[in-house]
């Protein structure tokens, strides 16, 4: 016979109404907005208390506000986060945690959404005077006939990753006749986006305009390589067109032939390319691990960005007692960082409570198309909440 244990912890007081259309969603308007509504029994979490909103009538439970909402199995998120950011592939993770590959992908999606929310929330503490390096990381999705370009923005000195956007490109370069033939055979099954790199770079600029706009005394300095698309994109963007004496934007272009040393102004971009190549199983060279789905791959990337920014030590050669992260060096104070870093492993982030950019929203909702895949990616209904 199953025995259930009631968790009457601190979460007995619901923080807000989960209905995004309710007046108590962003901030409860009156203290007595909810009422108790019994409990339901679960194998994983025991007896779960339920509530009802007095205004909209929405019924919910303590689980509604937890990262494991609708989950049927508990996985240790900090351990999962570390292993997935240390180049462990999906199957190896499934073996380690004694679960299915589907469960691993499900937890990756949950954690990826948490990391997007954490990044958006903590940006209010961020220093607004550092130069930003932007460059494209090349890999592929599905097969080598669908190369991609992941454009990343990263601060020049503190190496804090700001944003990542994705573009699928048409395969080019040297190919055998057979390879050219196969590329033509696959072409009718996928529509390549026109000016994908320009759009991808514009998404990054949109994010900078929101999160790192130029301010008086601290112009925005963007460092890129010499790709023509970057110049064209910047010239059409409000960061360039609407600048005045107090809101200046500078663009520094670095030759790809310049030595890739620490003194290269684009060092931060070269550094994050190297880290992604060695730390994410999907981007290792000559491996059976590669992206089968663009949206799932983006969620894995966001898990890694969260790990890199908020958990990874800034420099391994610093004294061993120095556990400071890239986020702290980029200006985020230690106390809120530690608090929200822990909350991200427990409390569920609601899409409706964050003001995300277009590309972050697409990543959250898994709307980025995968070559040769028909139909949308599966997304649980609560991810829209």
Binding span for Zn ion by CB under 5 A among 23-31, 76-84, 290-298, 367-375: 23-31
Identify the helix (H) or strand (E) that includes residue 173: none
- Residue 56 binds Zn ion, judged by CB under 5 A: yes
Q: Which residue has the tokens 């929101």?
A: 210
Nearest-approach distance from CB 40 to Zn ion, in angstroms:
19
- Residue 53 binds Zn ion, judged by CB under 5 A: yes
Which backbone phi and psi does 154 adopt, to 5 degrees? -145, 140
Angle between helices 101-122 and 77-84 (to 10 degrees): 90
What are the CA-CA distances from residue 371 to residues 148, 274, 316 (Å)? 11, 26, 39
- Residue 17 binds Zn ion, judged by CB under 5 A: yes
Binding span for Zn ion by CB under 5 A among 57-65, 151-159, 170-178, 298-306: 57-65
Beta bridge partners of 53: 34
- Residue 64 binds Zn ion, judged by CB under 5 A: no
37 or 186: CB nearest Zn ion: 37
> For 249, how many CA atoms within 13 A lie in the half-sphere containing its CB?
21
What are the CA-CA distances from residue 198 to residues 119, 131, 149, 166, 223 (Å)? 24, 21, 11, 11, 16
22 or 196: CB nearest Zn ion: 22
60 or 267: CB nearest Zn ion: 60
Nearest-approach distance from CB 78 to Zn ion, in angstroms:
33
Q: Among residues 22, 116, 268, 299, which is the contact residue for Zn ion, using CB under 5 A?
A: 22
Nearest-approach distance from CB 304 to Zn ion, in angstroms:
36
56 or 71: CB nearest Zn ion: 56
Total residues contacting Zn ion (rule CB under 5 A)? Answer: 8
- Residue 19 binds Zn ion, judged by CB under 5 A: yes
53 or 327: CB nearest Zn ion: 53
- The residues, any chain, with a CB within 8 Å of residue 192's CB and separated by 6 or more, are 168, 169, 170
Residue 159 exposed, middle or buried by CB count within 10 Å (0-12, 13-18, 19+) = buried
Nearest-approach distance from CB 28 to Zn ion, in angstroms:
9
Question: Which residues form the interface with Zn ion (CB under 5 A)?
Answer: 17, 19, 22, 24, 53, 55-56, 58
């Amino acid at each position: 016979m199953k025995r259930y244990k009631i968790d009457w912890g601190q979460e007995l007081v619901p923080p807000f109404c989960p209905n995004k259309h309710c007046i108590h969603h962003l901030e409860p308007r009156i203290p007595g907005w909810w009422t108790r509504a019994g409990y339901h029994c679960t194998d994983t979490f025991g007896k779960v208390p339920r509530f009802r909103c007095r205004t909209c009538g929405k019924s919910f439970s303590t689980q509604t506000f937890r990262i494991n909402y609708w989950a049927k199995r508990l996985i240790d998120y900090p351990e999962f986060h570390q292993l997935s950011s240390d180049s462990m592939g999906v199957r190896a993770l499934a073996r380690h945690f004694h679960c299915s590959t589907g469960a691993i992908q499900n937890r990756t999606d949950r954690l990826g959404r948490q990391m997007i929310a954490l990044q958006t929330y903590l940006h209010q503490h961020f220093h607004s005077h550092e130069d930003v390096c932007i460059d494209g990381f090349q890999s592929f999705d599905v097969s080598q006939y669908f190369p991609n370009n992941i454009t990343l923005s990263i601060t020049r000195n503190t190496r804090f990753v700001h944003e990542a956007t994705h573009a699928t490109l048409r395969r080019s370069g040297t190919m055998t006749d057979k390879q050219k033939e196969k590329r033509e055979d696959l072409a009718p099954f996928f529509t390549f986006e026109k000016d994908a790199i320009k759009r991808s770079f514009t998404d990054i600029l949109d994010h900078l305009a929101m999160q790192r706009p130029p301010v008086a005394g601290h112009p925005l300095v963007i460092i890129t390589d010499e790709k023509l698309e970057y110049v064209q994109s910047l010239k059409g963007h409000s960061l360039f067109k609407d600048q005045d004496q107090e809101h200046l934007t500078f663009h520094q272009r670095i030759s790809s032939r310049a030595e890739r040393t620490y003194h290269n102004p684009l060092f931060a971009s070269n550094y994050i390319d190297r880290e992604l190549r060695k730390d994410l199983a999907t981007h290792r060279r000559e491996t059976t691990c590669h992206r089968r789905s663009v949206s799932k791959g983006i969620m894995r990337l966001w898990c890694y960005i969260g790990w890199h920014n908020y958990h990874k030590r800034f420099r391994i050669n610093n004294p061993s007692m120095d556990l400071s992260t890239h986020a702290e060096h980029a200006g985020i104070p230690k106390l809120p960082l530690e608090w929200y870093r822990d909350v991200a492993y427990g409390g569920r982030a609601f899409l409706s409570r964050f003001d995300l950019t277009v590309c972050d929203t697409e990543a959250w909702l898994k709307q980025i198309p995968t070559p040769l895949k028909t139909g949308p990616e599966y997304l649980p209904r609560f991810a829209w909440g």
